[in-house]
Chain A
Amino acid sequence: MSTEKKVPVTILTGFLGSGKTTLLNRILSEEHGKRIAVIENEYGEVGIDQGLVINADEEVFEMSNGCICCTVRGDLIRVLGNLMKRRDKFDYVLVETTGLADPGPVAQTFFMDDEIRDEFSLDGIVTLVDAAHIDQQLGRSDESSEQVAFADVLVLNKTDLVSDESLDILESRLRDMNRMARVVRSKQADVSIDTVLNLSAFDLDQVLKRRPTFLEPEYPFEWTGVFSLERGRYELSLEEGPDPTMSLVAMEDQGINEVALNDGAESCVRLYADSAELLHPGSTVPIGKHVSLQLQSNGRKSFFLELDHATQIGLFTQHTAEEFDIKVSTVDSSITENDGKNDSMVKPATERTWVAEHEHDDEVGSIAIERVGDVDPEKLNKWLSRLLAEKGVDIFRTKGFISYAGDSRRIVFQGVHMLFTAQPDKEWGSEPRRNQLVFIGRNLDEKEMTKEFEKCLV
C-alpha cells in the first residue's frame, strides 16, 4: 500500500503570447534538482528543452447530467493516470494549458476523479498576463477573465512594454477581480521560482500558515504621502477633484518603511471610523483626527498645518494625490502676503497607494466578507448550499475560514464552483474568533451576500 506523498501539480494558464512557455523553460532550467514532467496542451513556436514532455490535446468532458462542476479534463486524467505509474521518474508536474482554456475543469479534475485525487495534488494555478494586451483581452473574452479569477498567482508579464502608471492601474484592476491572488511583475517571465511552485495554494492550512489573513486589506483611503517637515506653518493646497469633499487624517511621527506605513494605515483605519469634522478652506488641519476637507468652491483651496516641532507628517487621503493635485508647501511668515504664491513646495519622502474600497467595473470580481463572532453551522450550510446551487456557475473560487459556534477549532473551507470542502483546522485558543470569506466570481452581489452571511452569525 502506498503512503507516499502526492505529486504536486502546477497549472500555467494565460493567453497566447503571455509568456507561458518562457516561464516553463525558466522553471525547467533553474530547477535542476527537481524532475519535472510537463504536460503541454499548446504547441507554441518556442520549444521546450526537457526530457519528460507529453503533448496532449485539450479534451473537456462534460457529464450527461450537465453539471458544470462535473466537467473534467479527459486528457489530464489519461496522461496523469499513466504518469502515476512512473512516479519514480518525476516529482513535480507542470501543465501548460492553451490560451483559451477554462481553468474550472482543470481544477475540478483534481477533485472529481478518484484516481487522480489519490495520487496528485493541485498545488496552484499560475496565470500569466501580458501587460500590454490584457486590457483588451479582458474586455473581449470570458476565458481571459476566468483565468485571472482562478489564479493563485498572477504574473504581470512584459512590464517593460507598458508605463509604470498603466501597470499600477492594471494591477489594481486585476486585484479587484481576484483578491486572493498574489500579483508579481516580470519582464520576460523572470519571476522567482518560489513564487510559482510549491504554493500549496489548494491546501488552505498552508495558505493560512503563510498568510494568517490572506486578504489584502482594503482601506478607506487610497493614498499616503509622508513629508519630513521642520517646525513651522505649512500650506496644504488642493484643486477641485471628482468629489465635493475629501477625508483626510494627518499622522505625526510617520515612518517611511513598509512596516511603519502599514502600522500608520491600521491606526488610520480606526480614526477613519470616527465621524469626520468638516473643515473649510483656510482652516488648520488637526493632527491625528479624521477631517473632511470642504472643496466645493472654485479654484485652488488651502488648508494649513501648524507644527511646533520637526516631525514626519503622514497624510492619509481618501483619494489619490493626483486626483486633487495635493501639494504641501512651506509658508514663510515673512512672505505670507505674497498672495498665496510660493515656490517652496515640499516633496513627499515617500508615497504609497493603497488597495481601496471602490466599485468594481469588471463583471468578474472578488467579494470579501470579514466578521467577528461565531456562525451557526446549520444556517451557514443552508445559505452556502443554496448560494452554490443557484450561483455556483458564476462562483469560480471560494476560500476562507469560519468560526462555528461550539467548535473549538477553526473551520477552513474552499471550493471550485459547486464543489466545496470544509474541514476543522487548528484550535482557536486565545485568538479572537472571526470569519473571513472570499468569493471570486461573475456578477456577485456583495451587499446581498454580506447580508445573508450576517444572518448566519449567532
Chain B
Amino acid sequence: MSRIEAFTPKGMLHKGWSAQVEDYAISCGWVLQGKAFLVGDSAGGIYSFEGKSGDVIWKKKEVHKGGLLAMSIHPEGKSFATAGQDGRVLIWDSKEGELSKVLDLGKGWAEQIKWSPNGQFLAVTLSRYVYVFCANGQEQWRSDQHPSTVSAIAWSNSNELATACYGRVTFFDVVTNKVNQKLEWQGSLVSMVLSPNGDIVVCGSQDNSVHFWRRSTNQDSEMTGYPGKPSQLAFDQSGTVLATGGSEIVTVWSFQGDGPEGTVPGRLTLHADFISSLAFSHSGMLLASAARDGSVFAWFLNNNGQGDPVGGAFVGELVSQVAWRPDDCALAAVNAKGGITVWDFKVRTKGFA
C-alpha cells in the first residue's frame, strides 16, 4: 500500500491546537457546547481539554481496569458515560470530571455504549446481552441472550433500540419490553447505523459488504465489492447520503429517488490507506474522513454522493476518530499513538498555505 507524505493543513483546515494522552485514543467527543473536548484512551485514562486552547482541564487514570472500550456523551453534553473491560459502566460529570454513577454489569467486556436521543436512557452491551439504564443508574430493561456477541447498537427513537449481532438486527421497545422487528440475514454484522428518521438500517458485514434494510417497506439490499470490511458508516443529518469505509476510498451512496440500488456511488479518493473514521458535520453536507495512514480530509458532498475535498491534514498515525465541534467550526482527530489534533475549520482568506 502506498504511503502518504506528511503535509501541513490545507484548504479550510487551519492549525489549531494539539495535545497528547497516554495511550491509544479510543473515543472522543465535544461537550459543554464545544467548550471542552473529551478523550478516552485504551489504558482507561479520560481527559478533558479546554476547547479553544487545548489546555488540560482535568484527567483521570485507569478508570477501567483492563482498559476503556467505549464512551458516549449525553445529548446535553453535561455528562458522559464510559464502558470497559472490567464490565463496568461509569457515568461522569463533564465539567469537573466527577464520577456520579458506577454500574457493575459483571464479568465480561462492556463494549458498546449509547445514550438515547433524549438522554433518558443509556444502553450498554455485555457480550450477548444488552442493558438499558435510566440516567439515575436504575436498570430499565435487559435483553434476552442474543445468538452471538452484540456487535453494534443504535437508538431509532427515544424508546426503541436496535441491536446487531451475527445473523440479525433486532428492534426492542425498552419501555414495553417488546420485540418490534427482527431483520435476519446470514452474515456477521460488524457495524450499524440508522438513518436520522430511523427507517433505513445499514450494517457493515464481515464479508466485505454493506447490507441495508428499509423498515417501512421491508426492502433490503446488499452492496458488495469492498476490499475490506466496512466498519465505518455515517449518514448525513438529512439522511440523503451514506458514507462508507472498507477501503482507502470513501464510498458514498445516495438515497435520492430510487437509489442507491442501481446507482453509481460517489468515490472520494485521496487517502492512501483504509478509512478508519467518518463523521458528518452537524448541519450541511460536510464529511470528515480519516484513514489508517494518518490522513484527514474534509469534503463537501452533493446529494448524488459525489464530492470535492475542501481541506486536508496529516497526523502521522492511524486516526481512531474524527469529531466536528457542535458549531462545525473546528474538527478534532484522535489517533492510535494518543495524539490529539484540533483544526479550525473556516474559509481561508489568504491563499493556500
Contacts and interface: CB of A to CB of B under 8 A. Distances in A.
A222 interface: no
B74 to A, nearest CB: 24
A115 B274 CA distance: 10
B229 A114 contact: yes
A65 B166 CA distance: 14
B207 A86 contact: no
Interface residues of B, number: 39
B12 interface: no
Contact of B186 (A62, A77, A118): A62
A88 B188 CA distance: 29
Interface SS majority for chain B: loop
Contacts of B109: 82
Interface string A22-63: 000000000000000000000000000000001101010111
Contacts of A62: 186
Contacts of B207: 63-65, 70
Interface string A105-116: 000000001110
Contacts of A2: 317-318, 336
A86 B67 contact: yes
Interface string B306-346: 00000000001110000000000000000010000000000
Interface string B1-37: 0011000000000000000000110100000000000
A62 B186 CA distance: 8
B228 interface: yes
Contact of B206 (A54, A55, A63, A88): A63
Contact of B274 (A1, A65, A114): A114
A29 B206 CA distance: 36
Given A63-B207, A72-B206, A85 B187 contact: no
B148 interface: yes
Given A61-B188, A72-B188, A113-B229, A85 B206 contact: no
Contacts, number: 80
B166 A59 contact: yes
Contacts of A55: 107-108
Contacts of A54: 85
B336 A74 contact: no
Interface string B168-189: 0000000000000000011110
A86 B149 contact: no
A63 B187 contact: yes
A75 interface: yes
Contact of B317 (A1, A70, A86, A114): A1
Given A1-B294, A70-B207, A86-B24, A78 B149 contact: yes
16 contacts: A1-B3, A57-B149, A59-B166, A62-B186, A63-B188, A63-B205, A74-B148, A75-B149, A78-B111, A82-B109, A85-B26, A85-B42, A85-B67, A86-B24, A86-B42, A114-B228
Interface of A: 1-2, 54-55, 57, 59, 61-65, 70, 72, 74-75, 77-78, 82, 85-86, 88, 113-115, 118
Given A82-B42, A115-B229, 5 more contacts: A2-B336, A61-B148, A61-B166, A113-B229, A114-B229
Interface of B: 3-4, 23-24, 26, 42-43, 67, 69, 85, 107-109, 111, 127, 148-149, 151, 166, 185-188, 190, 205-207, 227-229, 273-274, 292-294, 316-318, 336
Closest 3 CB pairs of A and B: A61-B188, A114-B228, A63-B207
